[in-house]
Each structure stands twice: as C-alpha cells, then as structure tokens.
Amino acid sequence: MDIRAVKNYLLGLQEAICHELSDLDGAEFASDAWERPEGGGGRSRVLSEGALIEKGGVNFSHVQGASMPGSATAHRPELAGRSFQAMGVSLVIHPRNPYVPTSHANVRMFVAEKEGEEPIWWFGGGYDLTPYYGFEEDCVEWHRTAKSACEPFGEALYPKYKRWCDDYFYLPHRQEPRGVGGLFYDDLNEGGFERCFDFMRSVGDSYLRAYRPIVERRRDIAYGERERNWQLYRRGRYVEFNLVFDRGTLFGLQSNGRTESILMSLPPLVRWEYAYEPDAGSPEADLLSKYLISKEWV
C-alpha cells in the first residue's frame, strides 16, 4: 500500500484540473495552503468571478485523526475507535452561464488503523453533472465518458456506480435528483490496492474529458434574466443537498476540517422561491420532466 503514490497523484490531479480550467476561463486559481491542528492539512484552489466560472474550487486535503467521525462509522461501525488518515481531491465548478452545467468530482482514499491489527483501507469518489437546461447530447457524452472510464475494470462497474450515483445524489425531501448523475463509488478495496488505485486514476483523469466538451458547446449561448433567475433557483437544491446530505461535507465538519475549504462547494449566489413551478412546456419544465428522472443515458 503506497500512500505516498496516492498523495502525489492527487496533488498532480489538482494541478492539472486547475491548469485546464484556467485555460478555459482565462483567469487563474488562487492558492491557499492550510494546516489542521489535529494533523494534516491541504491546499485549496479557488477561482472567483471569472469570465466562465462564477465560482470554482478544487481542493486537496490530507488529514489525520485519532478516531473516525460519526459520518464514517455510521455505515461502518467496525471502524469506531480506529485512528485514520484521509486524502482526496474534491471540486465543484459553478459556471456563470445558466446553459453550462455545474459539475462536481471527488476522488479519495481512507486508511483506518488500530494497533496490533491490519490497516483497513478503501477508495471512493466519482463525478456528477447538474444542468439548469437540458441537452441530451451533453448527458449522453457525460455518461459515455464515465462508462469508458469504468470499462477496463469490468462491464458491471458502470451500471453499478451509475445507479449508486443516482441513489446518492437524491433529495428525498424534494423527491428529485440533484442532477443527471454520473458515477459514485465508496468502500472500494476489492482486487487489491493497485487495481483500486488504478480505478481512482481512471475516474479522476476522465473528469475533464467528460466536462470540457460540454462547457465549450454551451458557454457562449446568450441568456437573460429569466435563465439567470432559474439557475439561481435551482442552485438552491445544490445547497440543500450539500448541507443536509453530503457525507463528504459532514465528514469534514465532524473531523474539524477547514470550514472555508469544506464549504467551497457552495455557489456564490442562490435564491429560493415559495412553491415555485415553471410554466408547462417551458425549457425549465423540460429539465424537471425529461432530465431529472431515472434514465439510462447510454
């Protein structure tokens, strides 16, 4: 188990993603290194008020602790009482143009240790897409790239992790998905460390191959106040999920992580309206009825 190799990969991934997104936007990510009193730290990279990206964050963290937070042990009680280290890259990109979807990606590794016993390690991650206006070719291309990332590791993985993503990024109080899904996996240790690490790299390296073509197709579509207000309204769903349900957010807060970095996923502007319903037959209504549904895109 080569933890240093994982860390080096994650730092390189953060750098590569920031470089390519800066190339798309024309603005640079600010870099902010931080340390955690309980152990470890990270490097947050944030781009604000760019021409393309209204707010984007690409965060690397590597933290250690004496005991696992409740968000981790709730579904794996055998981890209680173990020390841990966790490392990963997590990003959220909130574009300015409502026709460009918000995207999220995360790849991470955990190690839980106890004296006299073998370490327990696992990988997790994935990526998902949250459009404000639906385009079928974008959804198909996004999922086709996700499927290609999984295929070298077995034909069963994409359907499994696609379904897991649909189930995970779901707002039960709204009875609706957050977006059109992608991949989500956790607790991965089958097949040995090298195979699991290879899968992490396949997922991490494919994120921009999935997202960049969509950005380039939609970034110059003209929009007005109606589209902007719809985008801000739908961003509210993103906030609700990240603050109420997201396990990564809960883990970071419960492990006394750096709050600014944990909450970098939140958009800069958002609005809520009471009992709002889009007009029947409108592009906004089409998003809800034709895209934010359970569907096999490829």
Q: Is residue 158 over pLDDT 70?
A: yes
CA angle, 287 as apex, 224 and 274 as ends, to 5°? 75
Mean pLDDT (whole number) for 207-222: 98
> What is the model's pLDDT at position 169?
97
Residue 173 annotated as lining a ligand binding site: yes
Average of per-residue pLDDT values in the chain: 93
> What is the model's pLDDT at position 1?
75
Residue 8 annotated as lining a ligand binding site: no
Q: Of 228, 210, 251, which is closest to residue 126 (Cα–Cα)? A: 210
What are the tens digits of pLDDT across the range 258-283?
Answer: 888 888 889 999 999 999 999 999 99
| Both tokens assigned to 116 | 């006299």
Report which residue type is found at 171.
L
Residue 106 annotated as lining a ligand binding site: yes
Q: Is residue 15 over pLDDT 70?
A: yes
pLDDT-derived band at 177, boundaries 50, 70, 90 = very high
What are the tens digits of pLDDT across the range 73-94?
Answer: 666 777 777 888 999 999 999 9
CB atoms within 10 A of CB 3: 15
> What is the model's pLDDT at position 74?
66
User: 63 and 36 in contact (C-beta within 8 Å)?
Assistant: yes
Backbone angles phi, psi at 104, to 5 degrees: -135, 140
What are the tens digits of pLDDT across the range 230-240?
Answer: 999 999 999 99
User: 237 and 245 in contact (C-beta within 8 Å)?
Assistant: no
Q: How far is 162 from 233, CA to CA, in rounded Å?
A: 26
What is the full DSSP assignment across 148-161? HHHGGG-TTHHHHH
Q: How far is 104 from 102, CA to CA, in rounded Å?
A: 7
**Catalytic choice (19, 62, 75, 104):** 104
Measured CA distances, 74 to 165, 166, 209, 274, 289 (Å): 19, 21, 34, 34, 34
- Active site (annotated) includes residue 62: no
What are the tens digits of pLDDT across the range 46-63?
Answer: 999 999 999 999 999 999
Predicted TM-score of the model (pTM): 0.93
Q: How far is 69 from 255, CA to CA, in rounded Å?
A: 6
Domains and CATH numbers, the chain: 3-291 (3.40.1500.10)
Residue 94 annotated as lining a ligand binding site: yes
